[in-house]
């Protein structure tokens, strides 16, 4: 009976096209194949966010009067509310971690080379969107830490020249952080950003299917040598997909562990008139930027140190995103090695500066 239903749906929806695509899809097998899993892992964790996020939407209230209480309600009164909320908060962090691993591996393996420039650019856009998700979602429980972290973050945005103040007012829904900010962030978090991500993620996934999996330059070089064995490939269905499933199951296990052993805290309700609590720091994925700005001297060449820092980070980010057009198109030679080193330095810098924030800034 079920088989008949399956056949009917396949016919009406034209699912055969997809089945063939899936059956034909191949994944290269080589030394660096491990890194191929991280895109799918990010996608899986994003899926977890969507599901848990929608569930939270059923009970959460986005007003300054009720947000904190509604989160407490979810944690204390709703069956398994604590689980859904803790998974949502932990999975956000894991997803951003997976996204960064995915990006750095793509960078170091030079997956951005032609014809995959758009895939890289759409991926950088997705990373930015994911940071925006993290930043907007962080405010929603309306506790002291979130309130002041948002204040610091929007203050930094406001320091940009020319457009800074406009951006600050746009983000905050006014000059200060108020219930209006919360409503606005909520709108970004559950409607605007999901809509944009749907489009760009769709593009990103389409491009990955269209161009297939990129093979790193070192592997390509080895395969091009005369007398090299033919490149090994793995079927996507079922081999790679089952391996994906193992990874996703492991991620699920990690989330269950984290949610049960380290439930996400409620904090204290935000009080705009209380002095900022000591040791505010943003979430770990912004920490390295925060630490960079903290360590800069207050004046550099006559300009505000913080402003120089923000502009510097922005320029570095744009340079990073433009790498498909700046690196050697074949991914070999001196320029290519330079960019690999830049990638390594960036990773080390981020790790060290993230660690420094946690060492120095204690809430």
Partner 1 sequence: MSARPGRAASARLVLGAALVALAVTTGMPRGALARDTCYECHRAEKEERLVAPTRNILKDIHFEKGLTCASCHGGDPADSEATAMDPDKGFKEHIEHKSIARLCASCHANAAYMKHFNPRPYIFSIEEFETSVHFKKASLGDTKVATCTSCHGVHGILPHTDPASPVYAQNVPRTCAHCHNAEYMKGRSLPTNQYDLYVTSVHGKALLEKGDLSAPACNDCHGNHGAAPPGLNDISMVCGSCHGREGELFIKSRMKAGMDSLGKRGCVTCHSNHGIQHPSDAMLAVGGKGVCGTCHQPGAACDRATVRIVSGFVGLRDSLALADSLLKLAEDRGMETGLGRDSWKEAQDQQVGVRAGLHSFDSAQITGVLDEGLGLARHAADQARAALRDWRTRRIGMGLSLLAILFVIALVTLKIRQIEARQGPP
Partner 2 sequence: MKRREFFDWLIGISGTVLGGFVLYPVARYLVPPPTPEAATRRVIAAKKDELQPGSFKTFPFGGQPGILIRTADGEYRAFTAVCTHLGCTVQYRGENKTIWCACHNGTYNLEGANVSGPPPRPLERFDVHVAGDLIMVEKAKGA
Contact of residue 23 among partner 1, partner 2, none (CB under 5-8 Å per partner type): none
> To the nearest whole angstrom, how small is the minimum distance from the Cβ of residue 50 to partner 2?
13
Smallest gap from Cβ 238 to partner 1, in A, equals 6
Beta strands 303-304 and 26-28 are: unpaired
Cβ-Cβ contacts under 8 Å for 25 (sequence gap 6 or more): 209, 212, 235, 236, 237
Chain positions 237 to 256 lying near partner 1, rule: CB under 8 A, are: 238-239, 242-243, 245-246, 249-250, 252-253, 256
List 10, 29, 35, 66, residue binding partner 2 (CB under 8 A) = 66
Q: Is 78 in the site for partner 2 (CB under 8 A)?
A: yes
- Give yes or no for a contact between 179 and 65, defined as CB atoms under 8 angstroms apart: yes
How many binding residues for partner 2 (CB under 8 A)? 18
Instruction: Please give the Cα distance from 313 to 350 (Å, whole number).
Output: 12
Place of tokens 């960019």: 339
User: Judged by CB under 8 A, which stretch of 69-77, 107-115, 120-128, 349-357 contacts partner 2?
Assistant: 69-77
Question: Nearest 5°: CA angle at 351, between 107 and 355?
Answer: 165
Cα–Cα dist 92/49, whole Å: 7
Write out the two tokens for 85: 């909320």
If the CB atoms of residues 164 and 263 are measured against partner 1, the closer one turns out to be 263
8 Å CB contact between 41 and 248: yes
Residue 58 binding target from partner 2, partner 1, none, CB below 5 to 8 Å by type? partner 2
Q: Does 84 bind partner 2 (CB under 8 A)?
A: yes
55 binds partner 2 (CB under 8 A): yes
180 near 302, Cβ under 8 Å?
Answer: no
For residue 49, state whether it binds partner 2 (rule: CB under 8 A): no
CA dist 283 and 149 (Å) reads 8
Q: State the residues that interact with partner 1 by CB under 8 A.
A: 29, 72, 75-76, 82-83, 232-235, 238-239, 242-243, 245-246, 249-250, 252-253, 256-257, 259-266
């Amino acid at each position: 009976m079920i088989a008949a239903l399956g056949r009917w749906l396949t016919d009406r929806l034209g699912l055969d096209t997809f089945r063939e695509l899936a059956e034909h899809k191949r994944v290269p097998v080589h030394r660096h194949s491990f890194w191929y899993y991280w895109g799918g892992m990010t996608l899986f964790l994003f899926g977890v966010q969507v599901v848990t996020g929608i569930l939270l939407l059923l009970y959460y209230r986005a007003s300054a009067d009720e947000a904190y209480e509604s989160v407490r309600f979810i944690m204390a009164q709703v069956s398994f509310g604590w689980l859904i909320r803790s998974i949502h908060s932990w999975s956000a962090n894991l997803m951003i971690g997976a996204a960064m691993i995915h990006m750095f591996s793509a960078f170091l393996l030079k997956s951005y080379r032609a014809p995959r420039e758009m895939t890289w650019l759409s991926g950088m856009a997705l990373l930015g969107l994911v940071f925006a998700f993290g930043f907007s979602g962080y405010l929603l429980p309306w506790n002291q830490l979130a309130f002041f972290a948002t204040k610091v973050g929007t203050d930094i945005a406001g320091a940009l020249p020319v457009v800074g103040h406009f951006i600050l007012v746009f983000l905050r829904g006014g000059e200060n952080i108020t219930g209006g900010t919360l409503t606005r962030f909520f709108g970004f978090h559950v409607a605007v950003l999901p809509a944009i991500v749907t489009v760009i993620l769709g593009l990103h996934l389409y491009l990955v299917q269209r161009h297939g999996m990129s093979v790193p330059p070192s592997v390509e070089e080895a395969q091009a040598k005369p007398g090299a064995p033919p490149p090994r490939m793995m079927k996507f269905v079922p081999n790679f997909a089952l391996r994906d499933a193992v990874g996703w199951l492991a991620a699920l296990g990690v989330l269950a562990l984290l949610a049960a052993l380290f439930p996400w805290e409620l904090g204290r309700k935000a009080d705009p008139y209380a002095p900022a609590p000591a040791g505010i720091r943003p979430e770990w994925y912004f920490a390295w930027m925060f630490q960079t700005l903290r360590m800069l001297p207050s004046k550099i060449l006559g300009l505000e140190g913080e402003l120089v820092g923000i502009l510097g980070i922005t320029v570095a980010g744009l340079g990073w995103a433009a790498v498909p057009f700046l690196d050697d198109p074949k991914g070999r030679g001196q320029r290519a090695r330079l960019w690999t080193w830049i990638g390594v330095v960036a990773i080390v810098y981020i790790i060290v500066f993230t660690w420094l924030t946690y060492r120095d800034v204690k809430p």
